[in-house]
């Protein structure tokens, strides 16, 4: 018994290790990483070098489902809410209507190419209707390409949000294909009811679960920091399982819970993100290897040509046509539509869903697995190797923006939140042009030409310098603007949107914004800032007063404040009083 356990661990761990090492091959050749993992699974499988016989469709679906839940939770956690502000309507249309249209188009192709009944044809269409986010964005990173933000956000949201719709359609159509005696009208009504229940409950339970995860993480105290990311991921899986037991879409609930938690203020958020990246990679490798082991290429005989014909229909007809219809109302250019249509790689989710017909008792269930497996390989080979070429040919590339290069969350006693962050200075920022760095944004260390310098002996900061400094989570968006964007320290979010006369009194400002400043009413704003910064204010220094922040916009040669800027801070409603639930909810959506 112990020998069997050791052999199983040896083979499993060895395959995972080999997968990680061979990812270097993928990076050098630009091959889709999913293709590498599937290839290793095939080599280890029944028809491969190791000849491992693996017939557990149920076990494969269980492993794949848990892995997919982890991937979707991480995908939501890592998606900034600003992506939704940029591209939510178009992306969510693709993730819902786009999946339905792809299902219909591919169902028609399958019906006439394979001669399948309509229900089974639509089921096959639903299986291949969703895109693979991991493959898409890995290839974008490896290709060294930076896509326009709107297109990138659209692909990012669609890839993360379209899996639940494809899973729902596939599971429902599998039930219909295995059932008998139901009329088309009955099935249509049942489909609509199931859709509303699963999607509606998935969204609601995901939102509730996300807020509960945030609250749980922020209330945990005196716990080993290493347990925070484990607890967060386990809580995400609890949301996934609970939603499924209650009749909702567990996959959608996991994604939404990650989205809510990832865009809320949460303790050790960066530590959680790093842990989840590793777990997401492990989940992907485990899922891909399992699905590769499950495949038996010797049974593909006679299906190659039909599978290739269906793959061509998907790549060149169904996906582009569905994308064109969905994006028509949103003002995308023809080149953007063409690129989104081309970046429709099918991956592990499609192979995972192709197991459902077998598990659901659909006659000839293995046929769908074999066809889909070959379609996925075709998609990865044809589309996967051409994403960079397509982006360049369609002129959708933008210059990469120098940005934050490192971020390390510090474990400090109590509830103190501080991070060590590093930046590469943007060549068009005002700091690179010689502007003085605000006091609160001064770096502790500068890396220039491979040498470490302090702020005292580095001289003026230069474009391309790497700077490191401590900052609170609140300061990070401001530090991003200072160091990584054109304008830098001159950005209105840094020096204030509203200029004020330094002779304005605190009392006058207090009457307008309900500040609790009874002891300072007669002091001018200029004097208040002079006192706060010990008569040595510099441009960019800021002082928080409840719902506003006062910023030094200009000083004269004698270091007297000559212009004051004001920034409204929606996260604060008065001095000493935290925002209520409605304000926190509004602020979360406005971030």
Count CA atoms closer than 13 A to 555's CA, side-chain side: 21
% the chain with pLDDT above 70? 76
Residues 190 and 276 in one domain: yes
Model confidence over 75-84: pLDDT tens digits? 888 888 877 8
**SS3 for 447?**
strand
Tokens found for residue 75: 């995908």
Sheet holding 561-568, edge to edge: 498-500, 561-568, 548-555, 542-545
For helices 2-29 and 269-294, give the axis angle rounded to 10 degrees. 100
Residues 461 and 415 in one domain: yes
Instruction: State the pLDDT at residue 589.
Output: 38
Instruction: State the pLDDT at residue 395.
Output: 79
How many domains does one find in the chain?
3
Model confidence over 355-396: pLDDT tens digits? 889 888 888 878 888 899 899 888 888 887 788 788 888 878
Distance CA 489, CA 491 (A): 5
Distance CA 396, CA 336 (A): 7
Nearest to 291, CA basis, from 241, 349, 341: 349
Residues 279 and 180 in one domain: yes
Instruction: State the pLDDT at residue 240.
Output: 94
This prediction's pTM: 0.72
How many other β-carbons are positioned within 10 Å of the β-carbon of residue 234?
11
Residues 442 and 588 in one domain: no
DSSP label at residue 55: -
Q: Is the pLDDT of residue 411 over 80?
A: no
How many other β-carbons are positioned within 10 Å of the β-carbon of residue 382?
15
pLDDT tier, 108 (very low <50, low <70, confident <90, very high otherwise)? very high
Instruction: State the pLDDT at residue 527.
Output: 84
Could you tell me the residue range of the domain that residue 452 belongs to?
401-493
- Residue 542 sits in a domain whose CATH number is 3.30.465.10
**SS3 for 241?**
helix
Q: Is the pLDDT of residue 477 over 80?
A: no
Instruction: State the pLDDT at residue 584.
Output: 43
Model confidence over 37-73: pLDDT tens digits? 777 777 777 776 777 777 777 888 888 889 889 988 9
Instruction: State the pLDDT at residue 107.
Output: 93
Share the mean pLDDT of the chain: 78
Residues 89 and 202 in one domain: yes
Lowest mean pLDDT among 510-519, 545-554, 559-568: 510-519
DSSP label at residue 96: I
Q: Is the pLDDT of residue 570 over 70?
A: no
Distance CA 163, CA 71 (A): 11
Residues 466 and 365 in one domain: no
Distance CA 207, CA 98 (A): 24
pLDDT tier, 574 (very low <50, low <70, confident <90, very high otherwise)? very low
Note whether 161 and 255 are within 8 A (CB).
yes
Q: Of all helices (H) and strands (E), which one includes residue 509?
A: helix 506-513
Note whether 98 and 382 are within 8 A (CB).
no
pLDDT tier, 210 (very low <50, low <70, confident <90, very high otherwise)? very high
Note whether 323 and 341 are within 8 A (CB).
yes
Return the exposure string of 274-283: e unless at least 16 CB atoms fall within 10 Å of the residue's CB, then b: ebbeebbbeb
Distance CA 67, CA 71 (A): 6
Mean pLDDT of 487-511: 68
Model confidence over 233-262: pLDDT tens digits? 999 999 999 999 998 888 899 999 999 998
Model confidence over 282-326: pLDDT tens digits? 888 888 788 888 878 878 878 889 999 999 999 999 999 999 999
- Residue 193 sits in a domain whose CATH number is 1.20.1530.20
Indicate the residue among 347, 368, 393 that finishes a domain: 393
Count CA atoms closer than 13 A to 295's CA, side-chain side: 31
Residues 197 and 137 in one domain: yes
Tokens found for residue 65: 């489902």
Model confidence over 3-40: pLDDT tens digits? 666 666 776 677 667 666 666 665 555 555 667 777 77
Find the angle CA(122)-CA(106)-CA(340) to the nearest 5 degrees.
130
Distance CA 184, CA 449 (A): 71
Model confidence over 118-138: pLDDT tens digits? 889 999 999 999 887 666 655
Residues 447 and 312 in one domain: no
Residues 30 and 86 in one domain: yes
Locus of tokens 């088309």 = 184
Note whether 510 and 517 are within 8 A (CB).
yes
pLDDT tier, 349 (very low <50, low <70, confident <90, very high otherwise)? confident
Instruction: State the pLDDT at residue 175.
Output: 84
Residues 41 and 136 in one domain: yes
- Residue 455 sits in a domain whose CATH number is 3.30.70.1450
Instruction: State the pLDDT at residue 439.
Output: 72
How many other β-carbons are positioned within 10 Å of the β-carbon of residue 47?
13
Instruction: State the pLDDT at residue 26.
Output: 58
Instruction: State the pLDDT at residue 187.
Output: 61
Mean pLDDT of 331-346: 88
Mean pLDDT of 399-428: 66
Locus of tokens 């290069």 = 405
3-state helix/strand/coil string of 207-218 = HHHHHHHHHHHH
Model confidence over 218-232: pLDDT tens digits? 888 777 777 888 999
Indicate the residue among 374, 393, 412 that finishes a domain: 393
Residues 389 and 406 in one domain: no
Distance CA 122, CA 102 (A): 10
Residues 264 and 132 in one domain: yes
Note whether 345 and 335 are within 8 A (CB).
no
Indicate the residue among 365, 393, 421 that finishes a domain: 393
Note whether 290 and 60 are within 8 A (CB).
yes
Q: Is the pLDDT of residue 565 over 70?
A: yes
């Amino acid at each position: 018994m112990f020998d069997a356990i050791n052999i199983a661990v040896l083979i499993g761990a060895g395959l995972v290790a080999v997968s990680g090492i061979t990812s270097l091959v993928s990076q050098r050749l630009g091959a889709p990483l999913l293709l590498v993992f599937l290839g290793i699974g095939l080599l280890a499988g029944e028809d491969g070098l190791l000849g491992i016989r693996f017939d557990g469709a149920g076990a494969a679906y269980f492993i794949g489902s848990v892995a997919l839940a982890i991937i979707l939770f991480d995908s939501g956690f890592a998606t900034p809410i600003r992506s939704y502000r940029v591209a939510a309507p178009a992306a969510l249309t693709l993730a819902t209507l786009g999946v339905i249209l792809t299902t219909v188009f591919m169902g028609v192709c399958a019906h006439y190419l394979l001669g399948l009944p309509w229900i089974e044809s639509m089921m096959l269409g639903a299986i291949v209707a969703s895109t693979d986010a991991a493959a898409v964005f890995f290839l974008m990173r490896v290709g060294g390409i930076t896509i326009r933000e709107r297109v990138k956000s659209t692909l990012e949201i669609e890839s993360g949000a379209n899996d639940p719709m494809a899973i729902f359609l596939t599971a429902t159509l599998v039930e219909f294909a295995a059932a008998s005696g139901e009329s088309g009208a009955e099935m249509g009504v049942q489909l609509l009811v199931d859709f509303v229940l699963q999607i509606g409950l998935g969204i609601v339970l995901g939102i509730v679960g996300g807020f509960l995860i945030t609250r749980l993480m922020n209330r945990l105290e005196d716990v080993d920091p290493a347990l925070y990311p484990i607890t967060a991921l386990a809580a995400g899986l609890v949301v996934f399982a609970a939603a499924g037991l209650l009749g909702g879409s567990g996959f959608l609930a996991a994604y939404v819970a990650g989205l809510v938690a990832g865009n809320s203020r949460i303790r050790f958020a960066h530590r959680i993100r790093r842990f989840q990246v590793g777990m997401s990679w492990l989940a992907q490798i485990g899922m891909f290897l399992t699905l590769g082991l499950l495949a038996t290429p010797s049974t593909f005989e006679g299906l190659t040509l039909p599978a290739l014909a269906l793959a061509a229909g998907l790549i060149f007809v169904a996906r582009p046509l569905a994308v064109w219809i969905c994006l028509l109302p949103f003002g995308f250019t023809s080149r953007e539509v063409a690129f989104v249509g081309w970046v429709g790689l099918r991956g592990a989710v499609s192979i995972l869903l192709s197991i459902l017909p077998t598990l659901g008792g659909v006659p000839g269930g293995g046929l769908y697995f074999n066809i889909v497996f070959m379609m996925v390989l075709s998609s990865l080979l044809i589309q996967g190797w051409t994403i960079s070429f397509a982006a360049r040919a369609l002129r959708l590339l933008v210059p990469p923006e120098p940005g934050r290069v490192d971020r390390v969350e510090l474990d400090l006693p109590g509830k103190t939140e501080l991070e060590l962050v590093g930046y590469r200075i943007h060549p068009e920022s005002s700091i690179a042009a010689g502007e003085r760095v605000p006091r609160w944004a001064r770096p502790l260390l500068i890396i220039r030409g491979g040498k470490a310098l302090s702020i005292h002996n580095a001289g003026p900061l230069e474009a391309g310098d790497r700077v490191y400094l401590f900052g609170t989570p609140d300061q990070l968006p401001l530090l991003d603007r200072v160091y990584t964007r054109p304008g830098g320290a001159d950005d209105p979010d840094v020096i204030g949107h509203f200029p004020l006369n330094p002779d304005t009194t605190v009392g006058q400002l207090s009457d307008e914004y309900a500040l609790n400043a009874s002891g300072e009413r007669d002091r001018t704003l200029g004097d208040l800032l002079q006192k706060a910064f010990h008569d040595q204010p510099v441009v960019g220094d800021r002082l928080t007063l409840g719902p506003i922040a006062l910023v030094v916009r200009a000083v004269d040669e004698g270091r007297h404040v000559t212009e004051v800027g004001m920034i409204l801070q929606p996260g604060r409603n008065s001095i000493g009083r935290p925002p209520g639930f409605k304000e926190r909810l509004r602020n979360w959506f406005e971030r």
